[in-house]
Structure 1
Amino acid sequence: MTAVRPSLRVEKRLLGAGRVTVIGMDEVGRGAIAGPVAVGVAAVTVDVGRVPQGLADSKLLSAPRRTELVPVVRRWARTAVGMTAAEVVDQQGIVPALGQAGAAALGELVRDGLSLDGAVVVLDGSSDWLSRALPPGLAPTDGPLEVVVRVKADRDCASVAAASVVAKVERDALMVAAHDDAPHYAWASNKGYGSTAHYDGIRAVGAHALHRKSWLHQASAVALDGFDLLSAVG
């Protein structure tokens, strides 16, 4: 698949309209059955340099290329990644979990010295799952944080593509590390998504603490072909 090269057209339009900072935001791991959901952010200002060569939506890049891009992206923009654990996805649902991960990523930027005054978030997708999750401490001094939702922003907007790359690499590294503790799920290759090898591992040994157990009940019945999930996940 040929990667579509993102641009700064949207970011520069927002900066030209008076915003001080544009924060691209994207999620990774929303559809996985194991592991956290991760949200990356990449903040740029009016003095942003040229888009890093080869930057694209993380889904369109090979794993080695994503890894190579991370230090380049971190020099180009101010980045952070927030994560929400699988148990929160089970207890509260995926949308609140996404919001919490996004708030955590923004909080990391703020702790690193970024002001949210005059900032706008460009959020990939068709719905705003961030605003309700923002704690009062993350509000700009002049009112609520502005959030712009844009379908395919991870493909078209360089800041959002950068956010997707840092989130993808960080979450993938976590799942690869978890593979050493639980190799029967093949997380090193599937990163927590529902591959055949992953389902085979659940059949063989049951569910792990990193599994989204409600998702196994609801989404995996066909793939598990009658396996007794009630006993497997407790």
Structure 2
Amino acid sequence: MPDFVYESRHAGPVAGVDEAGRGPLAGPVVAAAVVLDPDCIPDGLNDSKQLTAARRADLCARLLDCATVGVGIATVEEIDELNILWATMLAMTRAVDALGVRPEMVLVDGNRCPRWDHRSQWVIGGDALCLSIAAASIVAKHRRDMMMIDYDRQYPGYGWASNKGYAAKVHQEALRTLGPTPLHRRSFAPVAQARLALEPMTVQVG
């Protein structure tokens, strides 16, 4: 289980940062930054992937009540323009900016930090090691899941309410038959291939 050791090494506010949505074929990438109050840390914080959707929703609500939380989003257009790595870095930067306080240290899940002027440290597997990063993983995952459920109502047939935009079988079949939506990442190969397959062939007559 994650603990508060990383945060306790620093004086002043320490923010944990994580993202959700790097791998899907559709939808934005969402990052969260969380500064925990040491006197009000909800029980059960863990890597969001280890929690049920209901547990994530409950913990997200509790974090909004007792922690400082910022959320940042990079759009599908930004993902296609920048690539998914730099769009993720952009979402993380926006999440920290949205905190409303300047952290003394930022702990980032993964193996690199955005190019910013914050003191920061990356932590591989941080969502399973560091409470602040675990909290951020929960907020980011819950927020993005809620967005994809809403998008599923706007674009039915792709199964986003259940697969959240990942390349599940029903999603890939819908891509082939219905084609990409405005929320699909056209720079991702399966989307680009589906788009080309549905374009009418041009026959040149010599």
TM over 0.5: yes
Q: Which amino acid aligns with 2:34?
A: A
- Alignment equivalent of 2:109, drawn from 94, 100, 124: 124
Q: 1:231 to 1:203 in 2, by over 3 A?
A: closer
Mapping 1:137-216, distance limit 5 Å = 144-215=117-188
Match of 1:139 in 2: none
1:153 partner amino acid: G
CA distance in 1, matches of 2:176, 2:131: 41
Q: Which residue pairs with 2:3 in the alignment?
A: 7
Other structure's SS at 1:95 match = helix
Aligned partners of 2:180 and 2:194 also within 8 Å: no
Q: Which structure features the higher share of helix residues? A: 1
Distance 2:128 2:88 in 1: 20
Paired position in structure 2 for 1:61: 51
- Taking the aligned partners of 2:196 and 2:177, their CA distance within structure 1 comes to 14
Structure 2 distance, partners of 1:188, 1:57, is 21
SS of residue in 1 equivalent to 2:181: coil
- Distance in 2 (CA, whole Å) between partners of 1:76 and 1:59 is 22
Once residues 196 and 158 of structure 2 are traced to their aligned partners in structure 1, the CA distance between those partners, rounded to angstroms, is: 19
The percent identity for this pair of structures is 34
Count how many residue pairs are aligned between Structure 1 and Structure 2. 200
Q: One-letter code of the match for 1:195?
A: A
**Offset, 1:39:** 0.6
Superposed CA RMSD: 2.0
Give 1:60 shift: 0.6
Quote the Cα distance in structure 1 between the aligned partners of 2:133 and 2:87: 19
CA contact (8 A) 1:207 1:232 kept: no
Instruction: Return structure 1 stretches of 4+ with deviation > 6 angstroms.
Output: none
Choose the corresponding residue for 1:229, options 192, 195, 199: 195
In 2 relative to 1, CA 228–209 (structure 1 residues): closer, same or farther, beyond 3 Å? closer
